[in-house]
Amino acid sequence: MHPPLTLHRHPMCAEIIEEFRKCHADHPVKKFLGECTDLKIKLDHCFRQEKALKRKANFEQSKKLRERLQAYRKENAEKTS
């Protein structure tokens, strides 16, 4: 199962999404018999790569935020002491 195939949410995979949609439109019955399976595999791989990049960016952002929060707490602890 894949997430909704919206281009604005998956810009990295837009080309493969278009190919996958076209395959489904061109082969309405054969899609059930594996005609578009290769594209589906490419799409799943692309989604995994995209998710890994987003996860890494989110981790870096949270790391910076955590450092700022610790510095703020340390600064406030020094002021109140």
* pLDDT tens-digit map of 3-48: 778 888 889 999 999 999 999 999 999 988 999 999 999 999 999 9
Query: Which pTM was predicted?
Result: 0.74
Q: Name the residue ranges covered by the structural domains of the chain.
A: 11-80
Q: What angle do CA 49, 1, 17 make, to 5 degrees?
A: 55
How far is the C-alpha of 81 from the C-alpha of 76, rounded, in Å?
Answer: 9
Give pLDDT, residue 5: 83
Whole-angstrom distance, CA of residue 40 vs CA of residue 22? 12
